[in-house]
Amino acid sequence: MKAISKANLDEVLRGMNISDISKATIRQCVNTAQELERVSGESFIHLEFGVPGIKASQFGVDMQKLALDAGIAAVYPPTAGIPEFKWNASAFIKAFVGIDIFPDCVVPTVGSMQGCFNLLMECSQLHEDRKAVIYISPGFPSHFLQAKILGLEARTFDIYDYRGDKLGPKLEELMADGKVCAMVYSNPNNPAWVNLTEGELKTIGELCTKYDVIALEDMAYLCMDFRSDRSKPFRPPFQPTVARYTDNYAIMISASKIFSYAGERVGLVAISQKLFHREYPKLKERYGLASFGDNFILTYIYVNTSGCSRSAQNAMSEMMEASVSGKYDFVAEMREYARRAHRSKEIFFSHGFSLVYDKDLDQDLSDGFFYTIGYKGLKGSELLYNLLRCGVCAITLTATRSEQQGIRVCVSMLNKDEDFIKLDERLGLFEGLIAEEGITTAE
């Protein structure tokens, strides 16, 4: 393709009401790319979407259809979840995370989005004066928006500057005033694909105990740190988790990525037994029920959606069972993302790009669903602006609350050989543009 002119791009951005491209949301970037595709007649490389891009697990599809045939659509699902879902979730967590969660303490949710939204709401109502939430940045933009909707104070810091021994002091600084009720993070991290080490998780856990903060741990990308083989049920190495270091935790596991089941909106929340049964006077006073777990199910989830699709519960239950029994190797399926990441990173590198978040302490990052990339000190907004001119769409790191300069790359839409060939061509076009137009980089 020929590079799109600045005038044309500016016009499209104006039409979309985007004044600062560095803050454009995923949806705004998608819309911009679609408009540019129309204007230029060229299809874009889409690196902005975080959609599965792999076929849904057949174990889930088959079971969901069986459940529908059995007539389950007519009856309200139990808000606490159907028993087999709870049992299979407990076994699944034992098999791949290596911790004990009682079936009673597992609740199906309409994706982890619902889990996180309702956990956040509940955590912010446990105490009169704790209305702040810590987020590890960069992060999933929707998580920040949840706090904004709920009127909570978001406290955040860029993990780039606080790895290892630096993490504890930073967290203590944020927790010290006793106003923090919860802490939200994804591990592996979206978008940086940083994996918190066991040592870092120990720090988080101990401080959550010390300051009575609840860790809300998002395992959207469970077992996708491919540097070690986590595919064998009940055998280490397990998914790292804060659960080994505190009782103040709830874990979120979504079927969207691990089972490529995003369409059916199903996930789960697993609450530590101690937290599940912990009684809060504020909850008792407000809702007549005291325990964290009872309120999560019967107060929050119940009046939010009356539970989660019954057939989707059957589907996820079956996919977990198949994974636990070894019939279905979901980790092997996900390795496809690592292959796409490796191949596309090589292409970026060959055109002078480099990783922004590049290490877990002394270890290179794993290949996975996302990575972050920069170009010779170019600002994230300029980088995205010029990539858009060359038919490549992404979101900036600024939009994920990172303080670093670069873009987030999601590999899920790189499906075919020709996508990689096209990426290579487009990045060549980009390199030429930078040279030709004398766009200044910090190099």
Q: Distance between CA atoms of 81 and 406, rounded to whole angstroms?
A: 42
Buried b (16+ CB within 10 A) or exposed e, 403-441: ebbbbbbbbbbbeeeebbebbbebbebbbeebeeeebee
d(C-alpha 218, C-alpha 188), whole Å: 9
DSSP 251: E
Alpha carbons within 13 A on the beta-carbon side of 415: 8
Q: State the nearest-atom distance from the C-beta of 208 to a second copy, in Å.
A: 24
With CB under 8 A as the contact rule, which of the stretches 86-94, 95-103, 146-154, 173-181 interacts with a second copy? Answer: 146-154
Q: Which residues of 39-64 are buried (b: 16+ CB within 10 A; e: fewer)?
A: ebebebbbbbbbebbeebbebbbebb
Site string for a second copy, 267-296 (x = CB under 8 A): -------------------xx---------
- Residue 387, classed as helix, strand or coil, is helix
Token duo for residue 282: 């504020």
* Binding residue for a second copy, selected from 157, 226, 238, 300, defined by CB under 8 A: 300
Q: Report if residue 30 touches a second copy, rule: CB under 8 A.
A: no
Pick the piece of the chain touching a second copy (CB under 8 A) from 173-181, 216-224, 298-306, 370-378: 298-306
Output the smallest distance, CB 27 to a second copy, in A: 7
Residues 311-370 that bind a second copy (CB under 8 A): 311-312, 315
Contact 430, 387 (CB under 8 A): yes
Please give the distance of CA 3 from its chain centroid, rounded to a whole number: 33
Of 38, 43, 83, 145, which one interacts with a second copy (CB under 8 A)?
A: 145
Q: Which is nearer to a second copy, 303 or 361 (CB)?
A: 303
**Residue closer to a second copy (CB basis): 116 or 243:** 116
CB of 115 to a second copy, least distance (A): 10
Among 32, 299, 344, 372, binds a second copy (CB under 8 A): 299
Which residues form the interface with a second copy (CB under 8 A)? 27, 51-56, 60-61, 64-65, 68-69, 71-77, 110-111, 113-114, 117, 121, 125, 142, 145-146, 148-149, 256, 260-266, 286-287, 298-300, 302-312, 315
